Amino acid sequence: MSNKEDASGSKNLNSSELLKKIDKLREKNIGKHVPLPQLVVVGDQSSGKSSLLASLTKIPFPRDLELCTRYATQITSRREDDCSVEISIIPAVDASVEHRAKVDVLMGIRTDLSSKEGSVFSKDVLQIELCGPEEDYLTVIDVPGIFRDPTDGVTTDNARTVILAVLPSNVDLATQEILKLAKDYDENGERTLGVLTKPDLVIEQSAKAALCSLVLGFKRPLTLEYHLVRNQGVDKDTSLDGEKGERMFASQPWSSLPKDRIGIQALRYRLGELLSEVTEREFPELRKDIKNQIDSCQQDLDHLGPARQTEQEQRAFLSGIARQFQSFVRAARDANYTENEAFGESNSRLLTHIVGLSEIFSSKFQTEAHFFPFDCPVSGTDNDEGDVRGQETTNNASKAIEPKYLDPDDFPELEQIVSRVSGFEDPNEDGIKAWIKELYLSSRGLDLGTFGSNILSRAFKEQTTKWEAMTREHVSNAIMVVHRFLSTALGKICGSKQLYSKIWPSILDELLKRYQMAMSQALYLLSVERNRRPYTLNNYFSQTLQKLRTARVAMALEGNARGEIQIDNKGYTTYLDNKIVDLEAVKKATSNQGNLKYITEEIHDILWSYYQVARERFVDNVHMQAIEHCLLTGPESPLEVFSQDWVINLDADQLGAIAGESQAIKARRTSLRNKMEDLKSALQTLKF
């Protein structure tokens, strides 16, 4: 063996373990996930590519002029103590399960080119593995025809691939598309080695000189240079070792070329050297790429969430979503907005919006809910106090955080529940006293200076005409706030539109039912206030009425009052702040008031005193019962619909329809898991 051959054996043996590891990865089809160091032979039909492979590998490839390679072939030679040959088929990356089962027998290539059954070319890879004490460490991949589209794990769109561009010497290189295509994949020519075949067919001296110039790098230089070999003919009896045929290189002009760039043996050594260099250089990056791919797969699997293929997995998954949802709901209901960054979004601040709506409702009820403005004495009554309380409520409402404008048109599913305030008929221009007088005259009976309780019921009912519409609007707004919150919260917790689109319709009917319960409760409270005889045990009513009556007498006596004078024992006169009224003036003031006027004012004062009590009571009840209990905290609150109890009560079919994975997700999960297994196995293989 020559010194070069000794060097070859030493070089390859030093890299043998690395090359073995890469071959194992290739056998496991890891090249479909990460690019592997490899040598890929490419060339046009009749370029001598198959003959070159036969010379390199000593395998009798088909070399009939009418035949061409119609599948990728991977030839691996490895130095082992025992001789062996193994032939197998590596299925294509996108091969179906049925095809993978079939490739143990055949590739499905059409043998009769006139037939329409099968394929002319196969995406599968024919793997030939040669082992023996005389073999070099070398792996070469033969690509069918000129490569145009990258194929995972096979072709040259891979920085770890050395391209062997096979070029017939008897053809003008300017017409060889293979060099142009190789440049597309290897722009700087750093990974392309030109292999010039058929030099025996070059006759003219000028053509031989041009060929030598190319090998010497004077024309169209490549970083990996050009190599000149002579292929054998199609005669089956021709020796495969190529030694006899290569005697031509001992003559001029070939003998002037560097010995390491001519002949099969020198090319075999050069290829082993290149593959070792690429493998050693890329080995750390290859491990890094595989680790990154494993991390990426894990992230993708995490994004898919837990597996949901069995009923147990589906129930556990959906129960976990419900648990997270209820935790979010509790925080929003308690205004505990620091637990989740999602509360930075306005729509998520549920309790804040509800409180704001209630304060606005209370303020509007204070100032706008009565049909006629009341006409009370200015001083000495709770009218002033009521104005003060009303102003405070208005101020609080102005500070409330009102939610974004709520339009029922944005919630078509709530159409049968929510509503807006419509316009109201203007009250009588003559005012409330004239209205009460007319009401009394139209309904009085045989009474002696009194009036029946029915007139108070009628007066209160008409004075509260606006209450229903204003209540409907308020509860509608609260329902829309809750509905919008639930939709937003569920979308955030689900994380995917697909899961949200399955859960939301499943709970919508129950949500609508509970919204209707809240509205019904508010309307029930309204009916209790408006459709029964006015009555209250609240002392505030009697206190207010007494103050009103006292204030009216005081107003009537205002003109007859005089200042009190005090004269001391020395005759000095002192004017006191107190005012006194003669008893006769009091009798005259009360007796001069007409019966109709007295009854009108009495009805007004009783109505006003009772209205204040009823209004405050009603506003509180609506908030506590319809809003707080029915919509927020009660056991039948819509916030409680999507819960772990709801998940537990789903039957298997319902559960599968909601939490089951789509075929696409199942396929994606399976693909990621298989890829993870492949990559982890590859990483284990690459350990020293």
Which tens digits make up the pLDDT trace of 281-331?
888 999 999 999 999 999 999 888 888 889 999 999 999 999 999 999 999
pLDDT-derived band at 658, boundaries 50, 70, 90 = very high
Point out the domain boundary residue: 279, 300, 321.
300
Give the separation between CA 512 and CA 44, rounded to whole angstroms.
71
Write the Ramachandran bin of 108: left for phi over 0, alpha for psi from -120 to 50, otherwise beta. Answer: left
The two three-digit tokens of residue 354, written as one number: 């509800």
Give the separation between CA 280 and CA 12, rounded to whole angstroms.
11
pLDDT, greater one: 388 or 460: 460
Contact 368, 470 (CB under 8 A): yes
pLDDT of 657 reads 93
Residue 527: inside a domain:
yes
Give the separation between CA 597 and CA 380, rounded to whole angstroms.
21
Give the separation between CA 272 and CA 139, rounded to whole angstroms.
8
pLDDT, greater one: 228 or 385: 228
Residue type, 367: T
Residue 560: inside a domain:
no
Residues 511 and 635 in one domain: yes
* pLDDT of 416 above 90: yes
- Residue 245 CA to its chain's centroid (Å): 67
Contact 273, 11 (CB under 8 A): yes
Lookup result for tokens 């003219």: 204
For 607, which DSSP code? Answer: H
pLDDT, greater one: 533 or 298: 298
Tell me the range of 68-72, 255-259, 338-342 where mean pLDDT is highest: 255-259
Residues 239 and 329 in one domain: no
Inter-helix orientation angle 3-14/16-27, to 10°? 60
pLDDT, greater one: 46 or 493: 493
Strands 161-168 and 192-197: parallel
Point out the domain boundary residue: 276, 300, 324.
300
pLDDT of 575 reads 53
* pLDDT of 5 above 70: no
Question: Percent of the chain having pLDDT more than 70?
Answer: 74
pLDDT, greater one: 65 or 72: 72
pLDDT of 305 reads 81
Name the nearest CA neighbour of 611 among 372, 396, 451: 372
Residue 166: inside a domain:
yes
Residues 319 and 451 in one domain: yes
Name the nearest CA neighbour of 168 among 143, 199, 133, 141: 199
Residues 57 and 147 in one domain: yes
Domain of residue 602, residue span: 311-373+398-544+596-652
* pLDDT of 589 above 60: no
* pLDDT of 379 above 50: no
Contact 200, 248 (CB under 8 A): yes
Give the separation between CA 455 and CA 443, rounded to whole angstroms.
7
Question: Each residue of 241-281: pLDDT tens digit?
Answer: 456 678 888 899 999 999 999 999 899 889 988 888 888 88
Residues 276 and 343 in one domain: no
pLDDT of 387 reads 46
Name the nearest CA neighbour of 196 among 507, 633, 213, 10: 213
CATH number for the domain harbouring residue 642: 1.20.120
| Contacts of 632 by beta carbon, 8 Å cutoff, 6+ apart | 333, 350, 351, 354, 482, 639
Residue 382: inside a domain:
no
Give the separation between CA 415 and CA 480, rounded to whole angstroms.
11
pLDDT-derived band at 21, boundaries 50, 70, 90 = confident
Residues 525 and 498 in one domain: yes
Residues 235 and 333 in one domain: no
Residue 80: inside a domain:
yes
Residue 675: inside a domain:
no
Angle at 500 between CA 497 and CA 506, to 5 degrees: 145
pLDDT-derived band at 237, boundaries 50, 70, 90 = very low
CATH number for the domain harbouring residue 151: 3.40.50.300
Residues 282 and 428 in one domain: no
Residue 216: inside a domain:
yes
Write the Ramachandran bin of 131: left for phi over 0, alpha for psi from -120 to 50, otherwise beta. Answer: beta
pLDDT, greater one: 99 or 5: 99
Q: Domain tally for the chain?
A: 2
Residue 165: inside a domain:
yes
pLDDT of 342 reads 66
Residues 338 and 260 in one domain: no
Task: Provide mean pLDDT across the span 175-199.
Answer: 82
Point out the domain boundary residue: 300, 325, 341.
300
Residues 433 and 475 in one domain: yes
Residues 228 and 340 in one domain: no
* pLDDT of 391 above 60: no
Angle at 59 between CA 169 and CA 257, to 5 degrees: 35
Lookup result for tokens 């209160």: 460
Residues 504 and 431 in one domain: yes
Average per-residue pLDDT in the chain?
Answer: 80
